[in-house]
Amino acid sequence: MPMSFPDLGPHAMFIWAAYAVTFLGIAALTFTIVKDDRKQRRLLAELERRGIRRRSADKAKSTAPKTASKRAKAASPKRKTASTKKTPASTQRKPRAAATRRTAAKSAASDKSEAGREGTPQ
Amino acid sequence: MISLANPTRFLELVRIVLPWLTGLTVILFAVGLYLSFFVAPPDYQQGETVKIMFIHVPSAWLAMMAYTVIAIAALGSLIWRHPLADVAGKTAAPIGATFTFLALITGSLWGKPMWGTYWVWDARLTSMLVLFLLYLGLIALWEAIDEPSRAGKAAAILALVGFVNVPIIKFSVDWWNTLHQPASVFRMGGSTIDPSLLAPLFVMAGAFTCLFLLLHFLAMRAEILRRRVGALQQIEAQRAAA
């Protein structure tokens, strides 16, 4: 269905002028802002291409591998270190012996509890 | 919200939001203009000139909203001394000035056929002109002082002092006898405008608001990058000197 443009009456000129001014104002503002944004992005890219970076960016770059390796180190043995923290140095050197002692102690404790349960009147 | 105040995170957010905001703005403008020109009926008193309302009123709302954004940013700048607040305040000023200018021009183009004059020194029109001058003052202040932190502080004080004008604009039609019509959209007893005219007005207001956000985000990104470029140019100059 063809759409006919409405007749804007005797004051059409004022209506068109208002819309035209608004369009031009918004277009000029948008053009200025977009142009400035593009200019700054281009300048920044040029500077970075020449090897000039922000100190914070450099810092982040230089510390990135360190932190990554630290994270990798810390990721798997975290529990181990947490559990070995309170154990004496001798047991750290001989984890197997410590583990055996711990299992022995656990089994003794469970035996005790089993015994307690057995001792309770039914 | 506070984590977004980090410029790098803000730039990331802008990168994600911009395409969606652009699409929404275009759609709202298309729908709003269609409703304004092909659906909205002529007003029983003003005839077709009521179509000017669909651009005049959103422009005036945004003129005040932009100044409110500047005032909030001024608080952020003065209390928390956050650089992003400076950036937000500085970049909202030219956008607000443009919308104020558009509200003044479209208002006078609406006034001529309805009042018989382009301009009258009534409270609403005069307070809007004062708002426009405040915007120009803020822009001039930013341009006059080289150091961004000092310029930001001075502009923040001016912005907060000038904020008193915003409620004056809003209530000028109630406090004084003016040629400008009283509040007819947001008022205690409900809107006095017919829904057939109110719908296109709200759609256009949504479009203008999205446009404001879009332009403000773009301008803020450009300003953040400008500061980074300035810092890098300083580093380059220092290296060259060494």
Cα(B214)–Cα(B203) distance, integer angstroms: 16
Binned at pLDDT 50, 70 and 90, residue B44 comes out as confident
Tell me which of B95 and A121 has the higher pLDDT.
B95
Q: Say which range, A85-89, A102-106, B93-97, has the weakest mean pLDDT.
A: A85-89
Check residue A109 and give its pLDDT. 46
Residue B69: how many CB atoms within 10 A of its CB?
A: 22
Q: What mean pLDDT is reported for chain B? A: 90
Tell me how many domains chain B contains.
1
Q: What is the mean pLDDT of residues B191-215?
A: 91
Give yes or no for a contact between B48 and A11, defined as CB atoms under 8 angstroms apart. Answer: yes
For residue range A60-102, list pLDDT tens digits in order: 555 555 444 555 455 444 444 444 444 444 444 444 545 445 5
Domain assignment present for residue B1? The answer is no
Sign of CA dihedral B117, B119, B124, B128: positive
Domain assignment present for residue B170? The answer is yes
DSSP state of B117: -
* Contact across the interface for A50 and B225, Cβ inside 8 Å: no
Domain assignment present for residue B186? The answer is no
Binned at pLDDT 50, 70 and 90, residue B127 comes out as very high
Residue to mutate among A13, A16, A24, A26, with most B CBs inside 10 A, is A26
Cα(B205)–Cα(B61) distance, integer angstroms: 8
Q: What is the mean pLDDT of residues B69-94?
A: 92
Residue to mutate among A1, A5, A7, A14, with most B CBs inside 10 A, is A14
Inter-residue long-range contacts of B41-48, CB under 8 Å, 24+ positions, other chains counted: B41/B196, B41/B197, B42/A9, B43/B197, B46/B114, B47/A9, B47/A11, B48/A6, B48/A7, B48/A8, B48/A9, B48/A11, B48/A12, B48/A15
Domain assignment present for residue B157? The answer is yes
Instruction: Identify which of B98, B102, B130, B127 has the alpha carbon closest to the alpha carbon of residue B216.
Output: B98
* Contact across the interface for A9 and B48, Cβ inside 8 Å: yes
Cα(B222)–Cα(B4) distance, integer angstroms: 17
* Contact across the interface for B51 and A8, Cβ inside 8 Å: yes
- The answer to whether B30 contacts chain A (CB < 8 Å) is no
A50: which chain B residues are within 8 Å (Cβ-Cβ)? 236
Q: What is the mean pLDDT of residues B110-138?
A: 93
Q: What mean pLDDT is reported for chain A? A: 65
Check residue A82 and give its pLDDT. 42
Annotated domain spans of chain A = 11-52
Check residue B118 and give its pLDDT. 93
Check residue A114 and give its pLDDT. 38
Percent of chain A whose pLDDT exceeds 90: 28
Q: Which of residues 74-93 of B touch A (CB under 8 A)?
A: none
Q: Which domain holds residue B161?
A: 9-41+48-177+194-241
Binned at pLDDT 50, 70 and 90, residue A6 comes out as confident
Q: What is the mean pLDDT of residues A4-18?
A: 86
Residue to mutate among B229, B233, B239, with most A CBs inside 10 A, is B229
